[in-house]
Structure 1
Amino acid sequence: MAVFIGAIVQGGVGFGLGLVGAPVLTMLEPSVMPGAIQIVNMTLPLFTLAAEWRKVDWRGLGFAVMGRLPGSVIGAYIVVYISVHTLGVFVGAMVLVAVALTARSLTVPRTPRTLTGAGFISGITGTATGIGGPPMALIYQNAKGPQIRATLAMFFFLSAAQSLAILAWVDRLPSAALTTGAILLAPMIAGFLVSAPLRRYLDGGKVRTAILIVAAASALMLITQSLTA
């Protein structure tokens, strides 16, 4: 159910699957995380790209992916050696600050530096916790809905593949994670298929508000998960 709802949110906004799915999976079966959610994170973007791939911001994507690679390595290091819970509280707080500032009409410029930085932070949090969408979404919050969804979809596909490879490299990708991720593809597909009305609604000028709401909710969930785990 969590993956189904998360797929509806991501199908409409461009991110959000990790927001709903990662905390629930972590509470129910922490041994399969973050690998299981990364299987789903890598598959769902393909459905978005099948419909909106022409809207990808390739230049911005390049800088973001360049920043994500070192971030993913740090995220894997955290999974092995450092408390993920401490990271979750810190990142969640930073996302809430960013949401508060941007909600007050502060514009985050979409530059090579900010894109690389967002990719770097996303790499750390995505690899360590399965929630890597908010930093990139905040950078693209003023873009049009199709460009946001297409660019984030390509970024998440490449990011999840990268994270899975690194998790396997540090021996944190058990077979149970792969099996669980494969099972969760069914509710993920169902969620995406019913997200079409949400996309049409948000594309009527409501995407930015939706991004800020989902990013804030993601941060709160991450903090709560980190403090209660």
Structure 2
Amino acid sequence: MWTGLLLAGLVVTLGGLVQGLAGFGLALVAVPILALLDPSLLPVPILITAMTHSIMSLAREHAHVDWRGVGWAILGRLPGTVIGVLLVDSLDQNQFSLLIGVVVLLCVLLSITTWNPRPTRTALVIAGLTSGSFGTAMSVGGPPVAMLYQNSPGAQIRATLAAYFVLGSITSIIGLLVAGQVHAPQVVTGLLLIPFLVAGFLLSNPLRKLVDAKGVRTPVLLLSTVAAVTLILRSALG
């Protein structure tokens, strides 16, 4: 148990560092690997750690939040949360892992295309709906919204996504709680992972002004691709 927790903690530390620099990436880095280590770490423990990271990020750069964008994205997230709860309740572990792998891989593929999205009202609502669905089901809720802000200044990306993740994580946890999908051991595990998350966040402090989102984009996408493909193969063979 403690060995598994330590390994999960190291993964969360790396994810916390990446998200502290780019504004997103905790889920892309951590979720595929945690799903391989122990599927029970998803979605509640990682939602708790993601919410904690977002609160710290918001406190650090709150002046740069695009609150208009956050509002429209949250509007889409509310019905998306219901879809996510239904996904958690209806899929077995193999299907769940396969879905995580496919979703992460699709996010990576979209990220490397020439698609140049903008945070318009309609795009934000659609991104929030998608983010709410997958964020609730598997904690991978960042990429749909993050891609809309990929050409924004680093501080605005980090602050806006942090505000969205705080509200979105609360919505997802409440939805899972109402559906009976939140259990005490998951909450305890999430709390035990917070010190590792804080370590990653603190490591990002002296680096965030030197590294913008593009600086960490390639390693995040590569690591996510390897983990996602591994998950898909494991699900197919398992």
Cross-structure match for 2:230:
224
The aligned counterpart of 1:45 is 54
Gaps of 5+ in 2: 1-9
Q: Helix, strand or coil for the counterpart of 1:197? A: coil
Amino acid at match of 1:178: V
Q: Counterpart in 1 of 2:99?
A: 87
Contact 1:86 1:226 in 2 (8 A): yes
Equivalent residue number for residue 23 of structure 1? 32
After superposition, the C-alpha distances for 1:5-27 in whole angstroms (9 at most, x for unaligned) are 11111110101111232233323
Q: Residue 160 of structure 2 aligns with which residue?
A: 151
Question: Match for residue 67 of structure 1?
Answer: 76
SS of equivalent residue, structure 2 residue 208: helix
Report the residue type matching 1:12 in the other structure: L
2:136 to 96, 120, 127: 127
- Using the size of structure 1 for normalisation, the TM-score is 0.89
Structure 2 CA distance for partners of 1:43 and 1:144, relative to 1, 3 Å: same
2:127 to 112, 118, 127: 118
Equivalent pair of 2:23/2:213 in contact (CA under 8 Å): no
Q: Which amino acid aligns with 1:99?
A: S
CA RMSD of aligned residues (A): 2.0
Matched with 2:5 is none
TM-score by length of 2: 0.86
Deviation at residue 86 of structure 1 after TM alignment: 4.5
Tell which deviates more after alignment, 146-155 or 210-219.
210-219
- What is the alpha-carbon distance in structure 1 between the residues aligned to residue 195 and residue 64 of structure 2? 27
Letter in 2 for 1:72: T
Q: Structure 1: which 5+ residue stretches go unaligned?
A: none
- Is 1:99–1:212's contact at 8 Å kept on the other side of the alignment? no
2:185 pairs with 1:176: yes
The 1-side partners of 2:225 and 2:138 are apart by 12
- How far residue 191 of structure 1 moved from its aligned partner, in angstroms, is 1.1
Tell me, in whole angstroms, the C-alpha distance in 1 between the residues paired with 2:76 and 2:194: 28
Once the 2 structures are TM-superposed, how far is the Cα of residue 170 of structure 1 from its aligned partner? 1.2
Q: 1:190 to 1:100 in 2, by over 3 A?
A: closer
Instruction: Say whether residues 1:214 and 2:220 are aligned partners.
Output: yes
- The separation in 1 between residues aligned to 2:172 and 2:149, in whole angstroms, is 22
- Equivalents in 1 of 2:169, 2:89: separation in Å? 18
Give the match for residue 3 of structure 2: none
Structure 2 counterpart of 1:100, from 112, 115, 127: 112
Instruction: State which of 44, 58, 65 in structure 2 corresponds to 1:35.
Output: 44
Aligned amino acid, residue 207 of structure 1: A
- Tell me the CA shift for residue 212 of structure 1: 6.3
> How many residues are aligned here?
223
- Whole-angstrom CA distance in 2 between matches of 1:126 and 1:216: 21
Asked if the contact 1:49–1:153 (Cα under 8 Å) also holds between the matched residues in 2, the reply is yes
Identical aligned pairs, as a percentage? 39
Q: 1:108, CA displacement in angstroms? A: 0.8
Contact 2:32 2:224 (C-alpha < 8 Å) held by counterparts: no
* Aligned 8 A contact 1:36 1:177 in 2: yes
- Deviation for aligned residue 1:39: 0.7
- 2: distance between equivalents of 1:20 and 1:91? 13
SS at match of 1:109: coil
Looking at structure 2, the residues matched to 39 and 198 of structure 1 have their Cα atoms a distance apart, in angstroms, of 24
Q: CA deviation at 1:165?
A: 0.7
Distance 1:6 1:12 in 2: 10
